[in-house]
Amino acid sequence: MINPEHILFLFLAYLTGSFPSAVWIGKTFYNKDVREYGSGNAGATNTFRVLGKRAGIPVLIMDVFKGWVSVNYIMFVSSGCNPFTETVTASQFEIQLAFGIAAVVGHLFPIYTGFRGGKGVATLLGLLIGLSPLAALASMMVFVIVFFVSKYVSLGSILASIAFPLVVFFVLENTDLNSSLEIFSIFVPILTLITHQKNIERLIRGEENKTKFREKK
């Protein structure tokens, strides 16, 4: 049952996801707004391209952390719930999921920077790590392999998102808890395909930029 405390933390999760790590690091340490360069997205990939790995790595870590910590706000709204030491109930899992989704929405449409955010992949990854570490790890492996072979971050992200529901449906144990995860997992590739629509068009035309995460001079 939803109560005022849940709503409060749902809003907090949105604000957490809204933290503009790419914009903050770019403006604070490099005097650049990454949204005005490269792809124009306020995310880790564009930060790597525009500012290099010294800026990109902390942005990536912070964006992943936003999703992960939002999922774990469950500890403050469910008495005695500790997802690190015990299995959450189905209702607690659904609350975790709602918090994580709020964080992703915050990253996509951050209130702090005029609702101009990134594509949400790193924050979505943090959400997935918090909900299902095994499936998240499998998706990360797919991303690493695809990126290593193709050098396309977008292609790696898309295929990794498609791998997630496959792992959830065919690898994880089928429990009552996983029924909610299965439903949610279907929307993971859908969201990724929507946010990467322009990348898909460029991939089809052969115009997508390959990424090499090297340090800027």
Q: Token pair of 18, please?
A: 């809204």
Question: What pLDDT does 215 receive?
Answer: 56
Dump pLDDT digits (tens) for 42-61: 999 999 989 999 999 999 99
CA–CA distance, 67 with 118 (Å, rounded to integer) = 13
CA–CA distance, 63 with 72 (Å, rounded to integer) = 15
CA–CA distance, 152 with 73 (Å, rounded to integer) = 34
Q: Token pair of 11, please?
A: 């809003």
**Average pLDDT of the chain?**
90
Question: What pLDDT does 90 receive?
Answer: 80
Phi, psi of 207 (to 5 degrees): -110, 5
Residue 82 in contact with residue 6, Cβ under 8 Å? no
User: Who contacts 196 (Cβ-Cβ below 8 Å, separation ≥6)?
Assistant: 119, 154, 157, 158
Question: What pLDDT does 87 receive?
Answer: 76
Long-range contact set of residues 27-31: C-beta below 8 Å, sequence gap at least 24: 29/55, 30/55
CA–CA distance, 59 with 68 (Å, rounded to integer) = 14
CA–CA distance, 42 with 21 (Å, rounded to integer) = 8
Greatest distance between any 2 Cα atoms in the chain: 54
84 or 143, greater pLDDT: 143
CA–CA distance, 7 with 37 (Å, rounded to integer) = 36
Q: What is the mean pLDDT of residues 88-114?
A: 92
Which one-letter amino acid corresponds to residue 115? F
Residue 211 has pLDDT above 80, yes or no: no
Dump pLDDT digits (tens) for 21-41: 999 999 999 999 999 998 889
Residue 80 has pLDDT above 70, yes or no: no
Domain ranges of the chain: 1-131, 133-209
